[in-house]
Amino acid sequence: MLSKKLEKALNNQIKIEAESSQIYLSMASWAEVKGLEGIAGFMYAQSDEEREHMLKLVKYVNERGGHALVPALKAPKSDFGTFQSMFQELLEHEIFVSQSINELVHVTLQEKDYATHNFLQWYVAEQIEEEALARTILDKINLIGNDKGGLYLFDRDVQQITVDSAAGAGPAI
Ligand code: OFO
């Protein structure tokens, strides 16, 4: 059974994952409208992943005798300036999510809830990968600079950049 304090903290994380999914959906839509099909596809996939992260938490909270609450969300912004700044925002957002997961892990220790501590290790590992992925993409973007041909290739190949490639295992562009 979850303590009230931990249930509240987990519900807060549900909201953060839901917001992440909304933000990335908005990024996908912005990129699609700009004709950046590959970047849009990448962001749609990121959005789906965040929804999965949220669902995993919802099911866990309910399974442990809590009540997962579906949160109200504020609308994300709809203009991201340039694709460079959009990916910078993606990285900053993932750093924020990592901090939030860390705080959540801290609460599990305070509450001596080792099952939830164990459950959250998946998120800890996932955040390392997601931050690495965002940094890998930003490195590629910095290499491209303002080169239009580079952007064309980047947009074509960005969907191939996976978490594995960020870790050095898969295809890189
Ligand atoms: Fe990328 O944030 Fe979920 O965990």
Give the tens place of pLDDT for each residue, 78-128: 999 999 999 999 999 999 999 999 999 999 999 999 999 999 999 999 999
Tell me the CA–centroid distance for residue 150 and ligand 1, in Å: 29
pLDDT confidence of residue 50: 97
Q: Going by CA atoms, what residue is nearest to atom 1 of ligand 1?
A: 94
pLDDT at position 164 over 50? no
- Over residues 13-17, mean pLDDT: 98
pLDDT confidence of residue 165: 52
pLDDT at position 166 over 60? no
pLDDT at position 24 over 80? yes
pLDDT range class, residue 147, cuts 50, 70, 90: confident
Tell me the CA–centroid distance for residue 93 and ligand 1, in Å: 9
pLDDT confidence of residue 159: 80
For residue 138, give the amino acid letter: L
124-137 pLDDT per residue, tens: 999 999 999 999 99
What DSSP letter does each residue of the chain carry, written as one string?
Answer: ---HHHHHHHHHHHHHHHHHHHHHHHHHHHHHHTT-HHHHHHHHHHHHHHHHHHHHHHHHHHHTT--PPPPP-PPPPS--SSHHHHHHHHHHHHHHHHHHHHHHHHHHHHTT-HHHHHHHHHHHHHHHHHHHHHHHHHHHHHHHTT-HHHHHHHHHHGGG--HHHHTTSS---
For residue 90, give the amino acid letter: L
pLDDT confidence of residue 44: 96
Tell me the CA–centroid distance for residue 160 and ligand 1, in Å: 19
